[in-house]
Each structure stands twice: as structure tokens, then as C-alpha cells.
Amino acid sequence: MRKRLNFVSLMILGVLAFTSCGAQASSSTDKSVTNSDSSVRDVFAMDTFMTLKAYGDNADSGLDEAVERIQQLESELSVTDENSEIKKINNASGQSVQVSNDVKILLEKAESKSEETNGALNICLYPILKEWGFTTGEYKIPEQNKLDSMLKNTDVSKIAISDNSVSIPFDYQIDFGALAKGYTSDEIMRILRENGVESAVVSLGGNVQTLGKKPDGSNWKVAITDPFSPDKDMCVIEVGEKAVITSGNYERFFTGDDGKNYWHIIDPKDGYPADNGLVSVTIIGDSGLDCDALSTALFVLGYPDAIDHWRKDSFFDMVLVTTNGEIFYTEGLEGSFTNTSSMSAEVLKIADKS
Ligand code: ADP
Ligand code: MG
């Protein structure tokens, strides 16, 4: 089987260019920004290359504290570290485990977003991800009957949370792969703000979050990867203080012996990679955690259900790319969206019917 990993999804134009291996390059297009007083940290955590950039006098102290917080979150949330809280929950054979507020917040968000998205977000799919080999890189296409029996142990409502005590049924295993980076970027921004930083931008494996505006007072420009040519961008959006978080079928996948691609976002209906008409979903909103949960869930819901969901719950903006190569973006992005691809791009209005 051929294997391929791709981690890029977004680039911040005019500030930094993020590549698939997390390297960065100063842009020559925006002298006012590259000349500003900025500090940068590159971190590898959560299986992800992260770049944090902050401006101003307090940037270094804020960034140092943020890096410590990333390491703390990784040690709580890792699915592989024997001492992590997640591993303890997964190894507890149905017994209760005391957890931090971080894990409690993530569990509660996972439950509420699962309910809101008709079960599309499901943090109990970890055994199925292992069966496909997404956790080890030893990929295989599982038998459907094996997946069907594993799917019986994925009922999110069976996760019991009481105060900071959590239990999951015997034979269940959870992972926060769909939400952890969004929560982490929220936490980075909270810490930078508390340290007096007013302008910052982070990319966690392509998930971008910004604090304030650029030091010159202008908006940030965030490019979104073309899912059909992941080394290119397809559009640029201008944002103030926002999270811009993408889930795509090109980010982590393998090619099976049957010549088809299989990716790491699983449809809880059949245990197969979600293939419901979308190849990329970018969510733009105020909370990294909400955007991360939604990017995965709406990728699973697919086209047009993702649009129906947005019409019911439109506190966020989004950019969708369909399997047919069409871009749809929500009306809140009108005026800040620039299509740089040859794909057609259509605006979604709340008032229109899908
Ligand atoms: P990434 O973190 O790779 O940018 P996502 O935020 O979409 O992308 O998260 C994908 C990860 O979420 C997978 O690697 C896996 O750990 C987990 N996952 C896969 N399918 C689902 C699902 N339907 N619901 C919740 N988590 C999922
Ligand atoms: Mg996600």
C-alpha cells in the first residue's frame, strides 16, 4: 500500500508562510509587518508542527507561557502517553477516572456538538481509527462486518461525566483528535492576552487563530489550501480576531490496493472515511474549539447537510469545497473572500434555500 501524509492546510499571507513541515518564511510582500517587533516559537506537539508568532513588548513572556501550556495539554490529552488522562480513561475498563477541567471541557463540547450534528462528531471512534491504521501508519482496509461490530461501541451518550469524574463503558476508547488543536489555540490566545499581547497569530498544523489585528491595524490574510492540489492555495480570506480551521480529505490519507484514497475523518454511520460530497471544510469563528469540532462534523455531514446546519446555527462562517470542485462560502465572508483558483465560488445566503 502506498502511504502519504499531508499536514498543510492554511497559510498566513503577508506574515508567515507555513509549509507542510511547519517551516516558516518571512514574506517579502508586507514590509510593515516583517519589520515589526515580533517573536516566534516553533513547537512539535500533538503530532503537529505548530508556529506561534506574537508582536510587542510582552511577546516573549507570553509565548514562553503558551509553549508550557501546549506541553501540559499534550500530556493530558495524548492517546498514546500511558500517563495521559485520556489513556487512563481508555484503560479504566468502565471505572471512573478523575480528570482535569481541560478534559471535562472537551468532553462536554464533544457531547454537545455530537448532539447538534446528529452524531457526525463522535469521539468514540478511536478503535476504528486504529483498525484502519491511522494511529500507527500500518494502513489496511477493514472488513465491513468488523467495522459494524466496532460501531456498536461508539454511543457518545454512554460517556458519563459527573463533576470531574469520567467513565466510559468497557470496550470503548475515546480520542480528541477532532477538537484538541482548536482548544489549544484558544488557550494560547488566552495566555497571550493575559500577558498583555495585543497582536498574534498561530498555526497549529495549518489551523490558524489570530489575536487582535496585525500590528499595523490591518486584517490578517489567511490562505486556504486547494484540496485538489495541496501545494497550492485556492482562496484568501481577510479576518480580524478569528479562528480559521480546516478539515480536509487530503490532510492524512493512504491509497489502498484498490487504488482508492482513504482518509482520517470517519463517518460514524459505517466506519468508513466520510465521503459525503465534500473534500474540504473551513470554519471561521470566535472559538477555536467550536470551529475545530464543527470542521470535522460538517465534513462528515457533507453536502448539502453542512449548509443546512449553518443555516440553523449561523454564528460562524465557512468555506466548503465539494467533491465536484465547487467552492461555497457564507455571506459573512463577502468582501473578504478572494478566489485564487479556477474553481467556481458561490456565496451562501442564510435566506436562500439549499
Ligand atoms: P486534523 O486534526 O487532522 O486537522 P480534524 O480536526 O478534522 O483534522 O480531526 C481529525 C481527527 O479527528 C482524526 O485524526 C481522528 O483522530 C478524529 N476523528 C475522525 N473522525 C471523527 C469523527 N467523525 N468525529 C470525531 N473525531 C473524529
Ligand atoms: Mg476538527
pLDDT digits (tens, 9 = 90+) for 224-241: 999 999 999 999 999 999
The protein residue with its alpha carbon nearest to ligand 1, atom 8, reads 247
Domain boundary at 117, 145, 167, which? 167
pLDDT over threshold 60, residue 297: yes
High-pLDDT (> 70) share of the chain, %: 89
C-alpha–C-alpha distance, residues 74 and 231, integer Å:
28
Residues 6+ apart with CB under 8 A from 183: 73, 102, 105, 106, 109, 176, 288, 289, 292
Cβ < 6 A, ligand 1 pocket? 121-123, 125, 129, 175, 177-178, 181, 205, 247, 251-252, 264-266, 268, 292, 295-296, 300
What pTM did the predictor assign? 0.92
Distance 177 CA to ligand 1 centre (A): 5
* pLDDT score, position 16: 40
Question: Which of 9, 265, 266 to probe ligand 1 with, by most ligand atoms within 8 A of CB?
Answer: 265
What is the extent of the structural domain holding 307? 11-74+179-352
Query: 18-27, 69-78, 209-218: lowest mean pLDDT where?
Result: 18-27
Say yes or no: 104 and 196 in one domain: no
Are the C-beta atoms of residues 290 and 179 closer than 8 Å to each other?
no
* pLDDT score, position 36: 61
* pLDDT score, position 320: 98
* pLDDT score, position 35: 41
Question: Nearest bound ligand to CA 247?
Answer: 1
Helices (H), 4-140: 31-34, 59-77, 85-90, 101-116, 126-132
Buried b (16+ CB within 10 A) or exposed e, 195-211: bebebbbbbbbbbbbbb
* pLDDT score, position 351: 86
Say yes or no: 210 and 276 in one domain: yes
Q: Dump pLDDT digits (tens) for 23-61.
A: 222 222 233 334 468 999 999 999 999 999 999 999 999
Domain presence at residue 1: no
Domain presence at residue 5: no
Distance 216 CA to ligand 2 centre (A): 31
Q: Which atom of ligand 1 is nearest to the CA of 268?
A: 23
Domain presence at residue 217: yes
Q: What is the mean pLDDT of the chain?
A: 91
Domain presence at residue 2: no
Say yes or no: 152 and 288 in one domain: no
The protein residue with its alpha carbon nearest to ligand 1, atom 27, reads 178
High-pLDDT (> 90) share of the chain, %: 88
Domain presence at residue 140: yes
CATH number of the domain where residue 318 is located? 3.10.520.10
Q: Dump pLDDT digits (tens) for 174-225.
A: 999 999 999 999 999 999 999 999 999 999 998 999 999 999 999 999 999 9
Say yes or no: 25 and 93 in one domain: no
Say yes or no: 270 and 295 in one domain: yes
CATH number of the domain where residue 94 is located? 1.10.3980.10
Say how many domains are in the chain.
Answer: 2
Domain boundary at 167, 198, 218, which? 167
Q: Dump pLDDT digits (tens) for 99-123.
A: 999 999 999 999 999 999 999 999 9
* pLDDT score, position 353: 61
Pairing of strands 160-162, 97-98: unpaired
